[in-house]
Amino acid sequence: SAVISQKPSRDICQRGTSLTIQCQVDSQVTMMFWYRQQPGQSLTLIATANQGSEATYESGFVIDKFPISRPNLTFSTLTVSNMSPEDSSIYLCSVVMLGGDEKLFFGSGTQLSVL
Amino acid sequence: QKEVEQDPGPLSVPEGAIVSLNCTYSNSAFQYFMWYRQYSRKGPELLMYTYSSGNKEDGRFTAQVDKSSKYISLFIRDSQPSDSATYLCAMKEEGGSEKLVFGKGTKLTVNP
């Protein structure tokens, strides 16, 4: 597996502001994803981060709310825009390693609380 | 009916007990089945990864897949307090999308 560094690990934000979460992997990956984990709910895929092009969003998630960048094979950011208390959740970066059997590995997550 | 159903528990057992965790699913196209362990304030950690039906054993952990019943299980033998965590099942179809579908997770506590 790889070392997947995600920061910040937690933050408390005010309503209407934006937060950018960074994900850095220590080796090359084929695919990077962003998930959301709300209390009592299943992990939900937000989008696939595509290198050098627009992310692919799942139903219910839009680019204006969750802009994603992936400038290279090992780094991606997720921005949670114009936050409301409903955005309070854990956000997780996940990757499939290059030559790695299609197994999905996760970062340690960002615990976001919106007041 | 949700694609993947998992009893959220909580489940509390004494140290040394055999733990059985289960998920059912409705999509017959699922071919890959995974179990993740998630400690509090940490990301999910891949524990077991199986393809199609059958058993897979890794130390104290055994994963079983019964595709005819659309039912998967994770058994933990000689459970330890360090096994206390939330266990998530996940699955995906063969080929195409890497998208995993997760259960809600079962919170397990092993009491010393």
Set of chain B residues whose Cβ sits within 8 Å of the Cβ of A104: 34, 46, 90, 98, 100
Q: What is the pLDDT of residue A52?
A: 85
Determine the residue of chain B that is closest to A92 in CA distance.
Answer: B43
Q: What is the pLDDT of residue B97?
A: 61
pLDDT in tens, B30-54: 999 999 999 998 999 999 999 888 8
* Per-residue pLDDT band at B1 (split at 50, 70, 90): low
Section A29-40 average pLDDT: 92
The b/e string for B46-59 (b: 16+ C-beta within 10 A; e otherwise) is: ebbbbeeeeeeeee
A36: tokens are 């959301």
Candidate ranges A20-24, B4-8, B90-94; pick with highest mean pLDDT? A20-24
Q: Which of B21, B70, B91, B56 is nearest to A102 (CA)?
A: B91
Q: What is the pLDDT of residue B63?
A: 97
Lowest mean pLDDT among A6-20, A63-77, A99-113, B9-23: A99-113
Section B42-71 average pLDDT: 93
Q: Measured between alpha carbons, how far is B32 from B50 in angstroms, rounded to an integer?
A: 6
Q: Please report the residues numbered 79 through 108 in chain A whose beta carbons come closer than 8 angstroms to any beta carbon of chain B.
A: 92, 96, 101-108
Section B72-81 average pLDDT: 97
Cβ atoms of A87 and A69 within 8 Å: the answer is no
Q: What is the pLDDT of residue A100?
A: 65
**Contact flag A103-B46 (C-beta cutoff 8 Å):** yes
B112 Cα to chain A: minimum distance (Å): 26
Section A92-108 average pLDDT: 86
